[in-house]
């Protein structure tokens, strides 16, 4: 119950939760590159994000016990609709916000597969605040200034172009089917 109250309070007081930030092409040229990171899949297998070079990447910190958890369904729909054109959705479970991702990797993978039929790549838990995982340090500190800032909650979305440069940030309340997110995905896929 406390988790629900915390989320409700945050949603009511933080209109910036629906904020969308997109950088211009010239600013994106100076943005950090996420391809430089090595991560581990939900099964513990190492993966270089450089293996996604040439793909448009949607990086999302996720949680299984969050009021926003139903966004998994929309993320899966994005993956199914656009993966043949070059979009990859990358889910990074995170327990930093309200302890809403307490499960072990196998539990998280099972939950996502059975509840939302998730087939997009899932990775081991990350730290998105405090002592951040290297990827999230890059996403929050090393990108173009207008995209910088602490993660507010679960399901913050970062969009990177085919060269791995972070070009947009979508706050938690921006759903995967939001027209602004779809337009930016389609713009990047057309490049």
Distances in Å between the Cα of 35 and the Cα atoms of 50, 73, 129 are 4, 26, 20
- The answer for 120, left when phi > 0, alpha when psi is -120 to 50, beta otherwise, is beta
Catalytic residue among 10, 15, 66, 112: 66
Q: How many residues does the chain have?
A: 191
User: What per-residue confidence (pLDDT) applies to 11?
Assistant: 44
pLDDT digits (tens, 9 = 90+) for 35-84: 999 999 999 999 999 999 999 999 999 999 999 999 999 999 999 999 99
Q: What mean pLDDT do residues 10-27 have?
A: 56
Q: How many CB atoms lie within 10 A of CB 76?
A: 19
Q: Does the pLDDT value for residue 33 go beyond 90?
A: no
pLDDT at res. 25: 52
pLDDT of 156-187, one tens digit each?
999 999 999 999 999 999 999 999 999 999 99
pLDDT of residue 32: 72
Is residue 10 pLDDT above 70, yes or no? no
Q: Say whether pLDDT at 144 is over 50.
A: yes
Q: Domains of the chain (ranges plus CATH)?
A: 20-189 (3.40.30.10)
- pLDDT tens per residue across span 73-131: 999 999 999 999 999 999 999 999 999 999 999 999 999 999 999 999 999 999 999 99
Residue 10 appears among annotated catalytic residues: no
pLDDT, residue 13, reads 36
Three-class DSSP category at 18: helix
Question: DSSP secondary structure string, 111-170?
Answer: HHHHHH---S-BB--B--SSS--HHHHHHHHSS-GGG-S---STT-EEEE-TTSBEEEEE
| H or E stretch at 40 | strand 38-40
């Amino acid at each position: 119950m406390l988790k629900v109250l915390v989320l409700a309070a945050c949603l009511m007081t933080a209109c910036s939760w629906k904020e969308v930030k997109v950088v211009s092409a010239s600013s994106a040229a100076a943005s950090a590159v996420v391809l430089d990171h090595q991560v581990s899949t939900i099964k513990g297998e190492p993966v270089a994000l450089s293996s996604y070079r040439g793909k448009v990447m949607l990086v999302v910190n996720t949680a299984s016990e969050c009021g926003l958890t139903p966004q998994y369904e929309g993320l899966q729909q994005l993956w199914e609709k656009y993966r043949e054109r070059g979009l990859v959705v990358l889910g990074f479970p995170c327990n930093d916000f309200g302890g809403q991702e307490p499960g072990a990797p196998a539990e998280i993978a099972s939950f996502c597969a059975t509840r939302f039929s998730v087939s997009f790549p899932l990775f081991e838990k990350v730290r998105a605040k405090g002592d951040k995982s290297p990827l999230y340090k890059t996403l929050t500190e090393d990108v173009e200034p207008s995209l910088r800032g602490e993660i507010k909650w679960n399901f913050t979305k970062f969009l990177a172009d085919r060269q791995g440069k972070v070009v947009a940030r979508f706050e938690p309340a921006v759903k995967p089917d939001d027209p602004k997110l779809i337009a930016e995905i389609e713009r990047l896929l057309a490049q």
